[in-house]
């Protein structure tokens, strides 16, 4: 089951209240069609709605509202009830299959709320709903005792994170999207490189010990006072990458005060941010980062992440780096995601992440321009790419194993942060490309022109060069042919 976190705008509906009974639901739909056929207030003629009183889940849902979306309640026929579902965040899941699949999906959604970090909104007056597609077949036209295939979306309303947070991300006690203004930050800056040597959870608190005594030098600080830690990244983005860190305070936007000696200023641009609230010692702050990248972001469809920066904010709730009661926020910048284009209505669930993918398996796609397009979450196993123009493209988080690349021009191409799997031997019994499948077989360059290529800060242990031209090749400035000549001379 693939649960998505979505924010839906306000929804107005004209509805008929019925007992929880499939036959009565269809009778109500027939009555709606009669009363509202061609009515100008209708706004969504492609979907029919069944509204669920969430507060009844505590005992048993006995009542439903069958309805349609309308622009306003003016001029509606008598006998209809009106519902207004405010703008809200929902857990959305698609029901697709037979009755057993429908019941299993509802059970899995309930378990998702029970074991996950989010609290379902079951307060009096809170409605969830089923959004039923009316094409190509209207399910309300099929008798309840006959229908055997379902295809609709469940929207379950959410209150937010549970008070005790997420069991998989201890300390994370809140997460919400906020709009933030431009912020001018003044402070001292450090660089964190090679995180195996410089552990951020150690180095950053140590750096703040240098910064705190100098905060008083920063003029025109913005009230209420808070300290800001700004992380700035450069591509390629990903876990464990190097970054710059600015530790300081926010100042007024119109400040003209000079910078204190040795300090730097940055501006955090206005925009939308996911503010993740964390409670605990500073050495666990990475859980807030893991929560965003490993849980919240993959389960929503409204936003793309801006990878270049993020910032932490400490106010009066922060009591010190070693206090379990300390609270701070980590803000992740977002941009609204453009609507995904659909190439097919067929769906397949991938085995690795459990995500619902558009199913183009076995299809032939020819003569297509993807110039400027963004391809995300693509399963390309065993695919064939021929006569493809990749000039200027960016590839990130790519899983290459048993890939054959033939007759390829790569002038100016940069390979960065290429990793060998962390395993002593291949494990090829599981589904290829999933977490249990590991391939550490050698990478081979054969009959290729790598003249003038550069290898910088690379691990080339146990690399084998056989039958290759090496004129002009150098290692740390030393000609390789000279090294070979010296070696052969020594061997006699």
Contact 248, 227 (CB under 8 A): yes
Q: Are residues 141 and 35 in the same domain?
A: yes
Query: Among residues 17, 77, 18, 7, which one has the least CA distance to residue 42?
Result: 77
Q: What is the pLDDT of residue 435?
A: 63
Containing structural domain, residue 315: 172-336
Domain annotation covers residue 458 = no
- Identify the bridge partners of residue 154 per DSSP, sorted by sequence position: 93, 130
Q: What is the pLDDT of residue 158?
A: 93
d(CA 174, CA 329): 9
Q: What is the pLDDT of residue 58?
A: 87
In CATH, what number is assigned to the domain containing residue 314? 3.20.80.10
Domain annotation covers residue 36 = yes
Domain annotation covers residue 307 = yes
For the chain, what is the HEC assignment?
A: CCCEEEEECCEEEEEEEEECCHHHHHHHHHHHHHHHCCCCCECCCCEEEEEEEHHHHHCCCCEEEEEEEECCCCCCCCCCEEEEECCEEEEEEEEEECHHHHHHHHHHHHHHHHHCCEEECCCCCCEEEEEEECCCCCHHHCCCCCCCCEEEEEEEEEEEECCCCECCECCEEEEEEEEECCEEEEEEEEEECCCCCCCHHHHHHHHHHHHHHHHHHCCCECCCCCEEEEEECCCCCCCCCCEEEEEEEEECCCCCCCCCCCCEEEEECCEEEEEEEEECCHHHCHHHHHHHHHHHHHHECCEEECCCEEEEEECCCCCCCCCCCCEEEEEEEEEECCCCCCCCCCEEECCCCCCEEECCCCCCCCCCCCCCCCCCCCCCCCCCCCCCCCCCCCCCCCCCCCCCCCCCCCCCCCCCCCCCCCCCCCECCCCCCCCCCECCCCCCCCCCCCCCCCCCCCCCCCCCCCCCCCCCCEECCEEHHHHHHHHHHHHC
d(CA 323, CA 316): 13
Q: What is the pLDDT of residue 1?
A: 66
Q: Are residues 330 and 183 in the same domain?
A: yes
Q: What is the pLDDT of residue 227?
A: 95
CA distances from 354 to 166, 298, 437 (A): 20, 11, 16
Q: Are residues 214 and 94 in the same domain?
A: no
Domain tally for the chain?
2
**Residues contacting residue 286 through CB under 8 Å, at least 6 positions apart:** 200, 201
Summarised one tens digit per residue, pLDDT across range 67-109 is 999 999 999 999 899 999 999 999 999 998 899 999 999 999 9
Listed residues 115, 133, 160: the one ending a domain: 160
d(CA 436, CA 429): 8
Domain annotation covers residue 377 = no
Domain annotation covers residue 75 = yes
Q: Are residues 249 and 147 in the same domain?
A: no
Q: Are residues 256 and 316 in the same domain?
A: yes
Q: Are residues 127 and 149 in the same domain?
A: yes
**Residues contacting residue 9 through CB under 8 Å, at least 6 positions apart:** 87
Handedness of CA 318, 319, 321, 323 (dihedral sign): negative
The tokens for 247 are 């530790």
d(CA 14, CA 84): 9
Q: Are residues 51 and 144 in the same domain?
A: yes
Q: Are residues 195 and 114 in the same domain?
A: no
Domain annotation covers residue 387 = no
Q: Are residues 209 and 293 in the same domain?
A: yes
Q: Are residues 109 and 194 in the same domain?
A: no
The parts of the chain modelled with pLDDT lower than 50 are: none
Summarised one tens digit per residue, pLDDT across range 125-154 is 999 999 999 988 999 999 999 999 999 999
Listed residues 314, 336, 358: the one ending a domain: 336
Q: Are residues 113 and 248 in the same domain?
A: no
Listed residues 304, 336, 368: the one ending a domain: 336
- What is the pTM assigned to this prediction? 0.53
Q: Are residues 328 and 224 in the same domain?
A: yes
Domain annotation covers residue 453 = no
Q: What is the pLDDT of residue 258?
A: 95
Domain annotation covers residue 358 = no
Query: Among residues 27, 64, 23, which one has the least CA distance to residue 146?
Result: 23
């Amino acid at each position: 089951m693939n649960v998505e976190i979505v924010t839906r705008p306000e929804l107005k509906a004209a509805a008929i209240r019925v007992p929880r009974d499939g036959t009565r639901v269809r009778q109500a739909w027939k009555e709606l069609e009669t009363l509202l056929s061609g009515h100008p207030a209708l706004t969504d003629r492609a979907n029919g709605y069944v509204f669920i009183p969430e507060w009844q889940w505590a005992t048993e849902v006995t009542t439903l509202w069958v309805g349609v979306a309308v622009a306003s309640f003016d001029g509606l026929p008598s006998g209809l009830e009106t519902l207004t579902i405010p703008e809200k965040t929902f857990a959305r899941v698609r029901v697709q299959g037979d009755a057993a699949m429908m019941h299993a999906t509802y059970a899995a959604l309930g378990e998702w709320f029970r074991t996950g970090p989010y609290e379902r909104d079951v307060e009096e007056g809170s409605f969830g709903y089923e959004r039923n597609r009316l094409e190509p077949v209207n399910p309300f036209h099929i008798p309840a005792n006959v229908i055997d295939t379902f295809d609709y979306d469940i929207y379950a309303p959410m209150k937010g994170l549970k008070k005790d947070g997420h069991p998989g991300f201890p300390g994370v006690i809140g997460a919400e999207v906020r709009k933030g203004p431009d912020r001018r930050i003044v402070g001292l800056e450090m660089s964190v490189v090679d995180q195996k040597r410089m552990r951020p959870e150690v180095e950053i608190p140590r750096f703040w010990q240098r910064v705190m005594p100098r905060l008083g030098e920063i003029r025109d600080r913005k009230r209420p006072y808070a300290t800001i830690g700004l992380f700035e990244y450069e591509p390629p983005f990903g876990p464990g990458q190097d970054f710059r860190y600015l530790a300081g305070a926010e100042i007024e936007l119109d400040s003209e005060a000079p910078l204190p000696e040795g300090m730097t200023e940055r501006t955090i641009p206005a925009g939308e941010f996911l503010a993740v609230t964390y409670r605990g010692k500073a050495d666990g702050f990475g859980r807030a980062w893991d929560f965003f990248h490993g849980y919240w972001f993959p389960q929503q469809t409204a936003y793309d992440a801006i990878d270049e920066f993020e910032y932490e904010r400490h106010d009066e709730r922060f009591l010190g780096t070693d206090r379990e009661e300390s609270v701070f926020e980590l803000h992740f910048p977002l941009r609204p995601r453009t609507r995904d284009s659909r190439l097919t209505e067929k769906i397949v669930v991938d085995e690795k992440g459990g995500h619902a993918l558009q199913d183009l398996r076995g299809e032939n796609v020819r003569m297509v321009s993807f110039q400027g397009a963004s391809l995300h979450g693509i399963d390309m196993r065993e695919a064939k790419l021929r006569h493809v123009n990749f000039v200027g493209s960016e590839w990130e988080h790519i899983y290459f194993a048993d890939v054959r690349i033939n007759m390829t021009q790569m002038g100016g191409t940069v390979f960065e942060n290429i990793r060998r799997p962390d395993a002593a031997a291949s494990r090829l019994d599981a589904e290829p490309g999933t977490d249990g499948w590991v391939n550490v077989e050698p990478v081979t360059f054969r009959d290729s022109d790598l003249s003038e290529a550069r290898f910088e800060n690379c691990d080339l242990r146990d690399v084998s060069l056989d039958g290759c031209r090496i004129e002009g090749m150098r290692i740390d400035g030393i000609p390789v042919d000279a090294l070979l000549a010296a070696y052969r001379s020594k061997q006699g």
